[in-house]
A = this chain, B = another copy of it.
Amino acid sequence: MSKYLLPRLNALDPYVPGEQPQDRRYIKLNTNESPFAPSPRVLAALDTEAVGRMNLYPDPIARVLRETIATEYGLTPDNVFVGNGSDEVLGFAFMAYADETRGATIPDVSYGFYRVYAQLYRVTPTIVPLNADFTLPVERFLAQHQLVAIANPNAPTSLALAYGDVERIVAGNPDSIVLMDEAYIDFGGETCLPLLAQYPNLLIVRTYSKSRSLAGGRLGYALASPAIIEDLNRIKNSFHPYNINTLTMLAGIEAMRDRPYFKACVQGIQAERARSTQALRALGFTVLDSAANFLFASPPGMDGRTYYEKLKARGVLVRFLSQPTLENYVRITVGSPEQMRALLDATAQILGEGNL
């Protein structure tokens, strides 16, 4: 870094995305992408005519996209904010609601970016350990008087929160924002969307990267009360007003409209998740009951890092997170049947080796 960087930013500990090694072709089960291509409607919409109009700025208020999302969820466009991936939405939300005067409460094991935003925005976070079984100690997220950020289902644990527990947390923090990061909600958990009508402090964050097969498009959104959406727009318009490019906007409209394709993809992943969970358990793994598009799994007789490394040597990438309570686990994206077959074959080999 340069000598000009603000001194307090020297200590930043940026997020490390899942590795993308270039040394060989891997079966990538480490970044929770969808194994399915985007909807055929997306492919049809992004035609030469659409690309040919890229000399013009996109609509800075993303009117049609916000209307489309609102319609899908029975809301109005003033309940919807869109961002350059849900990371940007999360980034703006932390910028709007937390700093050195008002902190943030987050679980110790969750999406790693919450801690990074805290650092970036001078927040001293209140970090709450999960229970030993990786469930959330709900009572420790009540009456925080500061931003509360929780992923449901949680990553990397794959566990969903009960609807009643989410409501307890939202109702239990009337004077502060409760950010529910529902990046993985379509794969199993119960959305807290119905709470929106009742709780003006609820901020739901979603992404197109997982269940909508558009990780490459960078599109996330927030669903919340109009006042919260106005806050996020205020930040966005003080940062960059044209945050969603033209083609991603079109892709987001069509992916949301193609409900049958979306459902088929989600069901395909759920079915593969069930098969893979069963197969890994049959091999002696501990696998948590996943409500997401990934498995949180602990191999028999070895720690997570060893398993991760042995898989990588066999061309299969999974995610190992070097946090103390996670050392026996890896996070495995639920990929295509072929990808999961390759994972299971490599795993059987690895376990077989151990028995020699």
Contact = CB atoms under 8 A, between A and B. Distances in A.
Q: Tell me how many chains of this kind the complex includes.
A: 2
A323 to B, nearest CB: 18
A108 interface: no
Contact of A6 (B38, B101, B239): B101
Contact of A200 (B2, B35, B239, B248): B2
B88 A240 contact: yes
A4 B228 CA distance: 8
A138 interface: no
Nearest to A55: B213
A201 B4 contact: yes
Interface residues of A, number: 83
B84 A243 contact: yes
A216 interface: yes
A86 to B, nearest CB: 9
24 contacts: A4-B175, A4-B201, A4-B228, A6-B98, A14-B234, A15-B237, A15-B241, A17-B60, A20-B60, A33-B57, A42-B54, A54-B213, A54-B216, A55-B215, A58-B215, A85-B242, A87-B239, A120-B239, A216-B245, A216-B247, A217-B245, A217-B246, A217-B247, A218-B242
